[in-house]
Amino acid sequence: MLDDGTQISPTLARMLACDAALIRAVLNGHGQPIDLGRERRLYTGAARTAIEIRDGGCVWPGCARPASWCQIHHLIPWSEGGRTDQTNGGLFCWHHHREIEHGEWEAIHHRGRIWLRPPDSLDPNRRPRINPTHRPPPPQHHWPPEASGGPGP
Ligand SMILES: [Zn+2]
Ligand SMILES: [Zn+2]
């Protein structure tokens, strides 16, 4: 619930927590705060600019939305110990930020690029994909390894 009383979904709450100055407050049944979190760390200034230059726009495969439409998603959530550094941030437009927070796709940093690993319902091998729209694709030997495992024998 936002401070004005608006009820939001867990996915939207994660999106907002990813790239906004939020303070988490856990309330008891009487609306009194029983736990106040610390204000989260954000990508600002040079750290934000560096990611905007690196990614050029939304990193979702096929998405053409430019950096100015994007938020910076923490690949490992800040609440789970993820750092606010270049290897843990990627540009996502509003639509795809919601998609990645939904949890089926996985975003990974590999050799200075952000890759998207699809859910096994779309690709049993979960082969990582890259968005070549804003930045040229890297040489093939820089591609990340495919997910190990997959369907069992
Ligand atoms: Zn996020
Ligand atoms: Zn996008």
Distance 5 CA to ligand 2 centre (A): 29
**What is the rounded distance in angstroms from the CA atom of residue 42 to the CA atom of residue 73?**
10
pLDDT digits (tens, 9 = 90+) for 26-80: 677 777 766 666 555 788 888 899 999 999 999 999 999 999 999 999 999 877 8
pTM for this model (two decimals): 0.77
CB 22 within 8 A of CB 39: yes
Please tell me the number of the ligand nearest to residue 98's CA.
Answer: 1
Is the pLDDT at 152 greater than 50, yes or no?
no
Distance 25 CA to ligand 1 centre (A): 19
Please tell me the number of the ligand nearest to residue 88's CA.
Answer: 1
Distance 30 CA to ligand 2 centre (A): 40
Distance 60 CA to ligand 1 centre (A): 13
pLDDT digits (tens, 9 = 90+) for 106-122: 999 999 999 999 999 99
